[in-house]
Amino acid sequence: MADTLLQFRQQQLAIYQAEQKDAQKELANAQTALQKANAQLAADQKALDKAGSDISAARARLAVTTVPADANALIAQITQMIIKQRGLQGTVLNDQEQVAQAQAALDSASTTLARASSLTSSVQAAVAVEQADAAKRDTFRAAVTVPPLSTLKADAAAFLTGATVTHASSRLGKNFPDKIVTIAGKRHDTRVNQVKGLMTDLSNSQDALGTEQATDGGLAGLSAQKQIAFRRAQDALASYVATAANRFTKAKAVTAALEAIELDASGTVPDVLTDAEKAQLTALSAAGTAAEGTAEALDADMNGIFTADAALQAQILASISANVDSLSSDPNIAAKQTAVDAARTTFNNALSAFVAADKKDLDQWEAVIPDAAWQVLFDYEDAMATLNELAATDPAALSAAMDGAESAYVTALGAAAIAQRRLDRLADAIAFRQERLDAAQGAISARLLSAIRGDSY
């Protein structure tokens, strides 16, 4: 059994090439058999025609014969000729049956050959595609076994606890009030987690489709389900190989820039904020801090909307899988939609209260910080998120997950291919037998008369 898609495609190619070769042989044999049967039918039909002519000639002679003895002799002769004619009629019917059998075999072999040839061409193209894809997967596998990717998980974890991050965090704290950093982090995480939630929702819908395919689609459906899992695992490894090292380098550069400010003893490296901006932030800190607490609650309310929407989307998938007749009137979906509406109402009410009471103070506090400094804070938040993600991601596990998903997909494809070949062969058998039946039914009237007359068996 193949473990990789390339091995599977190559095995299938060998199977269909062998089937094509066998079908070509069967077709040649069927053509020879049909030619032989047609030749035999032509010869026997010629003999039958001659027998009919001979009988007609004998009867003509009998009609003008006046000598009783000669007439009796002709009658006896004609009787034997009729017996011979009827035997030839039976032989011709047998020949016609053999021609029909040979034609059915020829048609069946032609169908098998056409399918095998088509599948061979299709699989040859698939092999070419799979060779390129397999080469990419080999590249992915190799990349995570050597630095920088093989050590990236440990390197990110070590960097997180190292001096550079410590210095960067310290310098950030000397520029931005704690509450500014807190609300910025929450807002960053809320939006990032929203995207992650949508990605999860998409994955869940793909999984639901795969589950239904596996449940309702037989072996082909199961292979479709395994393909979804395989593609996802491959994409996860491909994304890691393509972006992880660069993301780590960028995160290090962001924290190193803040560290350079922190460690500068000469005062020549510009800080994130000017002294005047820092003083302004301090002067507005009391009102800003109070307003920030309300903003944190508002951020939590926004997360409540995203959470409720995720539950709604999950319920829609569940209702589809449960074969609910009308999604628009499903009470379970309606309940989840009500929860979404309630979460939006909670957020909108909180936002209105925030605008009326606290927004101006937080806006004033935040307005002190120029866009360039906000970009520094964003870059820091993004860098820390990247470092934490990389420190938690094992590239070897991603590679193993892809290999396992590929093997499972190949196993499912193999079972489906075997089943499909059985179906194709049974379809050929049905077509062959249908053609034989049609021929027999078409000849039954002539055959029955010949049979009851004892012309042939």
- Tell me which residues of the chain have a pLDDT lower than 50: none
Could you say which DSSP state residue 139 is in? H
In the chain the domains, ranked by start, together with CATH numbers, are: 9-142+424-452 (1.10.287.1700), 147-412 (no CATH)
Sign for the pseudo-dihedral over CA of 72, 73, 78, 81 = positive
**In this predicted structure, what is the pLDDT of residue 105?**
96
Residue 399 burial class via C-beta count within 10 angstroms: exposed 0-12, middle 13-18, buried 19 and up: buried
Q: What is the dihedral of CA 291, 296, 297, 298, to 10 degrees?
A: 90
**C-alpha 241, offset from chain centre:** 22
Q: Say whether 393 sits in a helix, a strand or coil.
A: coil
Distance CA 196, CA 301 (A): 18
**In this predicted structure, what is the pLDDT of residue 73?**
94
**In this predicted structure, what is the pLDDT of residue 169?**
97
Packing angle of the helix pair 5-64, 395-452 (nearest 10 deg): 10
In angstroms, how far is the first alpha carbon of the chain from the final one? 51
Q: What is the dihedral of CA 347, 353, 357, 359, to 10 degrees?
A: 30
**In this predicted structure, what is the pLDDT of residue 456?**
77
Length of the chain in terms of residues written: 457
**In this predicted structure, what is the pLDDT of residue 1?**
60
